[in-house]
A = this chain, B = another copy of it.
Amino acid sequence: MLRTHTCGELRPAHINQTVTLAGWVQTIRNIGKVLWLDLRDRYGITQIVAEEGKTSDAIFAQMRSLGREFVVQVTGKVVERYSKNPELPTGDIEIAVEQFEILNASKTPPFKIQDDTDGGDDLRMEYRYLDLRRNIVRKNLELRHAVNRATRQYLDGLGFIDVETPVLIKSTPEGARDFVVPSRMNKGEFYALPQSPQTFKQILMVAGFDRYYQIVKCFRDEDLRADRQPEFTQIDCEMSFITQEDILNTFEGLVKFLFKEVKDVEIPTLPRMTYADAMRLYGSDKPDTRFDMQFVELKGQDRDLTSGKNFVVFDSAELVVGICAKGCSEYTRKQMDELTDWLKRPQIGAKGLIYVRYGQDGSLKSSVDKFYNEEDLKKWAEAMGAEKGDLMLIISGEAGKARKQLNELRLEMGTRLGLRDKNKFSCLWVVDFPMLEYSEDDNRWYAMHHPFTAPKPEDAHYLDTQEFGKIRANAYDMVINGVEVGGGSIRIFQRGLQEKALSVLGFSPEEAKSQFGFLMDAFEFGTPPHGGIAFGFDRLCSLFGGADSIRDFIAFPKNNAGRDMMIKSPSTIAQAQLDELGLKVNLK
């Protein structure tokens, strides 16, 4: 080794030992007769000191010539510091340099290697190797490794087997777009990169593997939204001879274990909420339950507190639904206008916002005073559990849209009220998802999870009566702080039912056979009841790290155009490569 110790390990107990360290020059302070160098490596920072008279002139001169990020090797005696630095684990000591070598020089980095860097996103991406030197980014990847280790520890302990499934598989038209890989040995044919190992893990259950997991790269060729990556990592799991209850308990256990191991946080038993309740109470299948502020329907299935007062907007609405923002009655007119404008942006698309202020003095004032008197408003306040000092925010319209808009508003209010603390964690299961959802745009049914999700036995008869919208599935999502971190289902394990499900999704028998024939064939050779779950590993890590973006929890992420800015990829390839693959680029 070119060092005897790392830059993070020396303590007063080492005083008088002669040690060798190697690392990067973080800073240099030179006051003429004395020079201090902060030497950095992955493990910490250690101060090196050179002093005129004590240090040789040659070394002193060499050290004066250093720049930031030079790589150097230093040998010297560990001495007690005159002025200690309690913020640094090595802050009690320094190294009095005796031998010194520059291992490699460095140009001046294009941005500062420190937590509050001055580098913009593009620059940090291009010089990712410098960005990764920053503590804050390195710690994210160390956290990722810790989550990976703890996941394996938990699953290994329960007898799960890590089995690698193939990366070169077969393209299927269902779901998101595949990345494809042309085959040279079978010209004109293509592999696809897996969007998930779904069918393979089911095949492993058919094969009797009983408990499988894998921390595995998956791929989706989607137009990238802010926080999506074309390649991402899943914790992928499957179990046999289980019910939904077993899966929920096993993976609730995983998440509790991860929080305890990685964050030292105790997570209480996860509440379970049906999809129907989640939509009704939060307008979302991934409610952020760090804060309450549940939806209250003023006009809906169970009550109507708004009709008959000549307010056409509510009278013509399918749903009038509100939330109560605690302590916000003093919001100014300007604030309300701004909030209304925010809701009207095309991303959200609300037509407007009705509000009622419940003053500290007990007064009730609304933006619809023309139609509703104080007694009406009192009823609303009662329904919504509003108290003096609160602000009621109400949206109306077609039920689905109104809920979606109010969900956005609820989250925004939660943020504004500081109710979404990144260091607080609220986990729950959302269960009983619909098996199928209808797309008006495409005029067809889609699988809400995927085509292999089993209907609840008590709802399966709706497949025959073609009431597809009524079928609930044994499908579940784990939601933490409003983020869907994992999802799964009990699977179909009978050929007949799988054929029926595929046919509802518009597969002809021929298409079903060509895409999933191997799986349905397998179902005929003794397939056990099985189910599973997959967690978004990047997302889980960013959640543990208290970050919004997954990008800094991935060592080498791609930008929103799918480009790796460091290696400059994708790129054109040689004509000879195309010829070998039997391909022609055909840009119109």
Contacts and interface: CB of A to CB of B under 8 A. Distances in A.
A217 B167 contact: yes
A582 B585 CA distance: 6
A51 interface: no
Contact of A526 (B104, B246, B555): B104
Contacts of A527: 71, 104
Interface in A547-565: 554-556, 558, 561-564
Contacts of A524: 105-107
B166 A156 contact: no
A112 to B, nearest CB: 13
Interface string A548-588: 00000011101001111011111111100100111111111
Interface in A106-134: 106-107, 109, 127-130, 132-133
Contact of A241 (B1, B25, B173, B182): B1
A207 B246 CA distance: 43
A187 interface: yes
A370 to B, nearest CB: 52
B171 A571 contact: yes
A149 B159 CA distance: 13
Say whether chain A's binding surface is mostly helix, strand, loop, or mixed: loop
Contact of A2 (B209, B223, B242, B525): B242
Interface residues of A, number: 125
Nearest to A537: B164
A236 to B, nearest CB: 13
A41 B210 contact: yes
Nearest to A523: B104
Given A166-B556, A527-B71, A572 B188 contact: yes
A371 interface: no
A156 B570 CA distance: 33
B221 A568 contact: no
A468 to B, nearest CB: 25
A420 B182 CA distance: 41
A141 interface: yes
A518 interface: yes
Interface stretch (A198-206, A286-294, A407-415, A445-453): A198-206
A8 B241 CA distance: 15
Nearest to A249: B1
A183 interface: yes
A261 interface: no
The 4 closest A-B CB pairs, nearest first, are: A106-B526, A132-B207, A170-B569, A189-B570
20 contacts: A42-B209, A42-B210, A103-B529, A106-B524, A130-B525, A138-B209, A141-B163, A141-B209, A166-B558, A169-B567, A170-B564, A170-B568, A171-B577, A185-B224, A190-B572, A192-B573, A199-B567, A203-B566, A584-B584, A584-B586
